[in-house]
Amino acid sequence: MRQRIPAIILLLYVAPLASAANPPKPTSQPLVASLVPAATDLIVGMGAGDHLVGISNFDDSKRPELAHLPKIGDYQSIDWERLMVLKPQILIIFQSPQRISPGVKERAAKLNLKLVNIRTETLSDIYTELKNLGEILREQAKATDASKKLDTQLQSMRQRLRNKTPVRTLLLRDETATATVGRGNFLNDILELSGGQNVIEDTGWPTIDHERLAALNPDAIIILLSNVPPQVEKQAAATLQRMQKLNAVKNNRIKIINLWYAQQPGLHLGDLAEQIASFLHPEK
């Protein structure tokens, strides 16, 4: 009579083979705390918002996608105790590597937090960081789709405006008409894609006085505000209306864009570009 193998031994023998043939799929996903509104927007915009467990003090928590997320600090101060409770694996920061303090590195190491330092100065940077975030979150397909969507929107607009003469434009960042947008950043990139020519030749984010503004004499002025109250928006308009000699004022070519993403690098830049293009080159 053939000897029977006890069932328990048979199970022990077969189970490892089954596991090797069909390894279990990982169920955990990287959890992220973001101190950078631009990174937060890229993550939410690509459809990976479920990875977020905390956002920065500068994020707009009125947005439905962010309303449930706790604030965990900003570039000056970090709520380490809250991070200890939230238990993310990744902390996104935006700082020059040489300026990250040893204390931040040490406390992050104690919490087993991987510091991810992103850069979103130019439009090209945004595409690069979108890809990086997709890889970090294991959401490469979502990041690729989001990148293609933004690029398609911007390139379609570029093609539509290819024969238009660029409009000499001043981009302002506040209601006093002193904070401007220079060259070498994502807002200048968007302005050029939208059919504008920046009258500011300096790089970065220079400030000017009204005497220099008069000398620049732009043909169009766009004021970018970030969800400010109506009275601030009115103040911005009134400031420029007092400068009657400006071409932009005489020809009524002033536009105020008061939206949470107006000054933020992210996937909404395509929508911002469309608004700028419609203002500078309206369809007849």
Q: In this structure, are 183 and 134 located in the same domain?
A: no
Specify if 55 maps to a domain. yes
Specify if 7 maps to a domain. no
- Give the number of domains in the chain: 2
Q: In this structure, are 46 and 143 located in the same domain?
A: yes
Q: In this structure, are 37 and 73 located in the same domain?
A: yes
In 3D space, the residue among 170, 171, 141, 144 whose CA is nearest the CA of residue 247 turns out to be: 170
How much is the pTM?
Answer: 0.85
Specify if 15 maps to a domain. no
Q: Give the domain range for residue 262.
A: 162-280
pLDDT per residue as tens digits for the range 197-243: 999 999 999 999 999 999 999 999 999 999 999 999 999 999 999 99
Report how far apart, in Å, the C-alpha atoms of 248 and of each of 141, 198, 263, 277 are: 44, 14, 21, 16
Specify if 136 maps to a domain. yes
Specify if 175 maps to a domain. yes
Show which of 126, 150, 174 is a domain's final residue.
Answer: 150
Q: In this structure, are 174 and 121 located in the same domain?
A: no
Residue 255 has φ and ψ, to the nearest 5°, of -130, 135
Specify if 4 maps to a domain. no
Show which of 109, 127, 150 is a domain's final residue.
Answer: 150
Query: What is the total residue count of the chain?
Result: 284
Show which of 150, 182, 205 is a domain's final residue.
Answer: 150
Q: In this structure, are 140 and 243 located in the same domain?
A: no
User: What are 148's two structure tokens?
Assistant: 């293609």
Specify if 131 maps to a domain. yes
Residue 233, domain CATH = 3.40.50.1980
pLDDT per residue as tens digits for the range 82-101: 999 999 999 999 887 778 88
User: What are 103's two structure tokens?
Assistant: 């204390």
pLDDT per residue as tens digits for the range 22-73: 443 444 689 999 999 999 999 999 999 999 999 999 998 888 999 999 999 9
